[in-house]
Structure 1
Amino acid sequence: MRYFIGLMSGTSMDGVDAVLCQISADNFQTLGSVSLPFPADLLLRLHALCAPQPNEINLMGSADIEISHLFARAVKLLLEQHNLAADQIAAIGSHGQTIRHFPDGYEPGLPGFTLQIGDPNTLAALTGIAVVADFRRKDIALGGQGAPLVPAFHQAIFGQDIHPVDTLQDIHQSSMDSHSTPAQATHTVDRDTRPDSHRAIVNIGGIANISIVALNTNQVSGYDTGPGNTLMDFWCKAHTLQAFDMDGNWAATGKVNKPLLKKLLADAYFKRQPPKSTGREYFSPQWLNAKLAGYNSVSAEDVQATLCVMTARHIADAINSRQDIEQVFICGGGAYNKTLMAHLCNNLAQCHVASTLRLGIAPHEVEGAAFAWLAFAYMERLTANVPQVTGASRPAVLGGLYLPD
Structure 2
Amino acid sequence: MSSPDLYLGLISGTSADGIDAALVRFEPHCELVFGRTYPWDETLRARLIALGQGGEATSLDELGELDTTLARAFADAATQAIADSGTDRNQVRAIGSHGQTVRHRPESSAAFTWQMGDGNVIAERSGITTVADFRRRDVAAGGHGAPLMPAFHAAMLRSPDEDRAVLNLGGIANFTLLPRAGEVRGFDTGPANALMDAWYERHTGQAFDAGGAFAASGTVDTGLLTQLLEDPWFALPPPKSTGREQFHLRWVESQLGAVTVSPANVQATLLELSAITIADALRATQPGTARVLGCGGGVRNAALMARISANLPGVVVESTAAHGLDPDYVEAMGFAWLARETLAGRPGNLPSVTGAKGPRILGTVYPA
Residues 183 and 352 in structure 2, CA contact (< 8 A), matched pair in contact too = no
What is the DSSP-based 3-state SS (H/G/I as helix, E as strand, rest coil) of the residue aligned with 2:14? Answer: coil
Distance 1:245 1:332 in 2: 15
| Match status 1:103 vs 2:106 | yes
Q: Which runs of 5+ in 1 are unaligned?
A: 162-194
What is the DSSP-based 3-state SS (H/G/I as helix, E as strand, rest coil) of the residue aligned with 2:34? Answer: strand
- Which of residues 357, 363, 366 is equivalent to 2:321? 357
- Mapping for residues 37-56 of structure 1, pairs under 5 Å: 37-50=39-52, 51-56=54-59
- Report % sequence identity: 42
Partner of 1:191: none
- Which of residues 18, 22, 29 is equivalent to 2:31? 29
What is the DSSP-based 3-state SS (H/G/I as helix, E as strand, rest coil) of the residue aligned with 2:153? Answer: helix
Partner of 2:283: 320
Q: 1:54 to 1:270 in 2, by over 3 A?
A: closer
Distance 1:396 1:72 in 2: 26
Distance 1:400 1:99 in 2: 19
Offset at residue 325 of structure 1 (A): 0.4
Q: 1:147 to 1:56 in 2, by over 3 A?
A: farther
Offset at residue 66 of structure 1 (A): 1.6
Partner of 2:151: 152
Offset at residue 79 of structure 1 (A): 1.3
Q: 1:159 to 1:37 in 2, by over 3 A?
A: same
Offset at residue 49 of structure 1 (A): 2.3
TM-score normalised by the chain length of structure 1: 0.87
Offset at residue 29 of structure 1 (A): 1.3
Aligned partner letter, 1:302: N
- Which of residues 262, 272, 282 is equivalent to 1:299? 262
Partner of 1:128: 127
Distance 1:313 1:128 in 2: 46
Aligned partner letter, 1:276: K
Distance 1:97 1:378 in 2: 20
| Match status 1:403 vs 2:367 | yes
Partner of 2:251: 287
- Which of residues 167, 172, 188 is equivalent to 1:207? 172
Q: Deviation digits for residues 155-190 of structure 1, max 9, x if unmatched?
A: 0111135xxxxxxxxxxxxxxxxxxxxxxxxxxxxx
Kindly report structure 1 stretches of 4+ aligned residues shifted beyond 4 Å.
none
Distance 1:386 1:235 in 2: 34
Moved more, 218-227 or 250-259: 218-227
Residues 34 and 77 in structure 1, CA contact (< 8 A), matched pair in contact too = no
Moved more, 136-145 or 259-268: 259-268
Offset at residue 318 of structure 1 (A): 1.3
Equivalenced residues, count:
363
Distance 2:159 2:11 in 1: 25
| Match status 1:14 vs 2:17 | yes
Distance 2:266 2:49 in 1: 22
Q: Which runs of 5+ in 2 are unaligned?
A: none
Offset at residue 287 of structure 1 (A): 1.1
CA RMSD of aligned residues (A): 1.4
Distance 1:65 1:266 in 2: 40
Q: Deviation digits for residues 202-221 of structure 1, max 9, x if unmatched?
A: 00101110000123x57310
What is the DSSP-based 3-state SS (H/G/I as helix, E as strand, rest coil) of the residue aligned with 1:145? Answer: coil
